[in-house]
Structure 1
C-alpha cells in the first residue's frame, strides 16, 4: 500500500464513481443507510448513552459500508450483517476499531462544546419542538451552525476519513492510521475541497433553498416529501463515493475497478 497524489479534478470523478457504484446495488446500499439512520434515531432517544453508542460504533459501521462497496463491485449480495465485518476480524482489529470509536466520540464531544459557545442553540429549541415557525434569526443560527460546525469538523474528518479502513484492512495501529488519514487528506486537499464543495451544495444548500422557497409559497408541508428522497439518495451515493476516495488515495492489492 502506498499513498497516491491525485489531481484536484478527481474530486468530481469520485462523485461520478460513487454514482456508478450505487447503481450496482441501489437497494442494498439504501437498506444500509436506512438501517443506520433508523438505529441512530432510536439510540438518541436514550439520553447521553444512546448518542455515545452511535459515535462509538461509527468507525465499525464505516468499515462495514466500505466492505459492502467491495461486495457490490464483485457482484456479491449485500447483507445487513456486513456492518459487523470489522468486529468479526481478529481480536486486535476489534480492539483498535473500538479505540477509534472512543477517540471519535471524544472529538465530537469537544466539538459540540466549542460549537455551543459560538451558536445560540436555545433559539432553535422552539423550532425543533414545533412550537414556533422559522424566523430570519433562526435561519441565521442554522447557517452559523452549519458554517462553524463544518469548520470545526474538518480536522475530525481528516483523522477519521481513512483510519477505520486502515485499521481493519491494512492492520495499522491506531496512531499510524490516524496520521496516515490526515496525510492522505492533506496531500489531496484540492480534490477533497472540490469533492466536499459539491456534496455541500447537494446535501445542504439545495435542500435548504428548496425548503425556504416552499415556505415562502406557503406550502412548507410539501418540503419533506421533496427534500427527504433527494437527501436520502444523495447521502447514499456520498457513502458509496467514500470507497472511490479510498481507491484513489491508496493503492490497493485488490483488482476491483471503479468506472467513472
Structure 2
C-alpha cells in the first residue's frame, strides 16, 4: 500500500467518474443505496441502542457502495449480496469492520454531545431523534451555534473514516492505522478533495434547480403535488447514490490497488469483491 498524491484537478475527475459509473448500472446502484439507507433506518427503531447501531453500520454501507461501484465499472451487475461484503470476508476483517463501525458511532455521538453543550441538546434531538424542527428552534441562536459546531467537528471525523473501510477491506489495515492513513491521505490531497466537494456542490445545486423547475411545471399543469414530491425524492436518492458511487475513485487514486491477479482470483472464487477499478491508461 502506497499513498499517492494527485493534482487538484483530479477532484473533478472523481465527480465525473462517479456519475459515469452510476449510469452504467443506475437501477442497481440506486437500489443498493436505498437498501443501505433502509437498513440503517430500520436499525434506528431498535429501542435505546438503535441510533448507535445505525451509525455503526455506516462504514459497512459505504464499503458496500464502493464495491458495487467497482463492480459496475468493471462491467458486472452489483447484486444485493454486495450489501454483506463487510461481513463475509473472514473473521479478522469482520472484526476490524465492527471496530471501525463502533469507533464511528462513538465519534459521531461525541460530536452531538459537544453540540448539546451549546443548546441543551436541541440540535441533537432534531438530527438523531427526528424531533420536529420549528421556525422558533431554527432561528434560535443557540441552536444555530450547535449546528455550526457539529458541522465543523464532523468534517475531520468524516476525513478519518473516508478511506478507512477500503483500507480495512482491500489492504487488511487495522482500524486505528486505517483511520490515520485515511486522514493523512485526505490532508495530503486536500486540493483534490476541495475541488471534489465543490464539484458535487455544483451538481447538487444544478440538480436541485432542475427538479424544482420540473416540480413547479407539474404543479401548474395540475398533475398534483404528489407527483412533484415523488420526483424530488427520487432525484435526491439518485444524486446521493451518484455521490457514494464516486467514493471508490477517491480511494483508487489515493492508494495503490491490490495486484490485479489477486483481485481476479478473489472475484472468481467469490470470497471477495474485485479490487477498486484501475485508472485508465
Query: In the aligned structure 2, how far is the partner of 1:49 from the partner of 1:132?
Result: 21
Query: In the aligned structure 1, how far is the partner of 2:66 from the partner of 2:131?
Result: 40
Bigger mean CA deviation after superposition, 110-119 or 85-94: 110-119
Bigger mean CA deviation after superposition, 35-44 or 101-110: 35-44
Q: Which TM-score applies when normalising by structure 2?
A: 0.76
Query: In the aligned structure 2, how far is the partner of 1:175 from the partner of 1:123?
Result: 29
**Residues 76-91 of structure 1 aligned to structure 2 (within 5 Å):** 76-91=76-91
Give 1:52 deviation, angstroms.
1.5
Give 1:188 deviation, angstroms.
0.5
**Residues 118-157 of structure 1 aligned to structure 2 (within 5 Å):** 118-119=118-119, 122=122, 135=135, 138=138, 147-157=148-158
Bigger mean CA deviation after superposition, 221-230 or 102-111: 221-230
* CA offset digits 1:166-198 (Å, max 9, x no partner): 111101111211111011000001111222233
Query: In the aligned structure 1, how far is the partner of 2:124 from the partner of 2:187?
Result: 35
* CA pair 134-206 structure 1, distance change in 2 beyond 3 A: farther
Q: 2:175 aligns to what?
A: 174
* CA pair 136-109 structure 1, distance change in 2 beyond 3 A: closer
Query: In the aligned structure 2, how far is the partner of 1:103 from the partner of 1:77?
Result: 32
Bigger mean CA deviation after superposition, 139-148 or 187-196: 139-148
Give 1:250 deviation, angstroms.
1.2
Query: In the aligned structure 2, how far is the partner of 1:223 from the partner of 1:122?
Result: 31
Q: 1:159 aligns to what?
A: 160
**Residues 14-93 of structure 1 aligned to structure 2 (within 5 Å):** 14-93=14-93
Query: In the aligned structure 1, how far is the partner of 2:172 from the partner of 2:193?
Result: 25
Query: In the aligned structure 1, how far is the partner of 2:13 from the partner of 2:243?
Result: 12
* CA pair 25-121 structure 1, distance change in 2 beyond 3 A: same
**C-alpha contact (below 8 Å) 1:4/1:250 kept by paired residues:** yes
1:231 to 2:242 alignment: no
Query: In the aligned structure 2, how far is the partner of 1:72 from the partner of 1:249?
Result: 20
What number of residue pairs does the alignment pair up? 254
Q: 1:117 aligns to what?
A: 117
Tell me, which stretches of 5 or more residues in structure 2 are unaligned? Answer: 261-276
Give 1:200 deviation, angstroms.
4.0
**C-alpha contact (below 8 Å) 2:161/2:179 kept by paired residues:** yes
* CA pair 148-203 structure 1, distance change in 2 beyond 3 A: farther
**C-alpha contact (below 8 Å) 1:66/1:243 kept by paired residues:** yes
Give 1:59 deviation, angstroms.
1.7
Tell me, which stretches of 5 or more residues in structure 1 are unaligned? Answer: none
Give 1:43 deviation, angstroms.
2.3
**Residues 94-105 of structure 1 aligned to structure 2 (within 5 Å):** 94-105=94-105
Query: In the aligned structure 1, how far is the partner of 2:63 from the partner of 2:108?
Result: 19
Q: Which TM-score applies when normalising by structure 1?
A: 0.82
**Residues 173-252 of structure 1 aligned to structure 2 (within 5 Å):** 173-200=174-201, 202-203=203-204, 207=208, 224-252=229-257
* CA offset digits 1:88-137 (Å, max 9, x no partner): 112111111111011001001101111223357648989x9999896386
Higher relative contact order (CA 8 A, sep 6+): 1
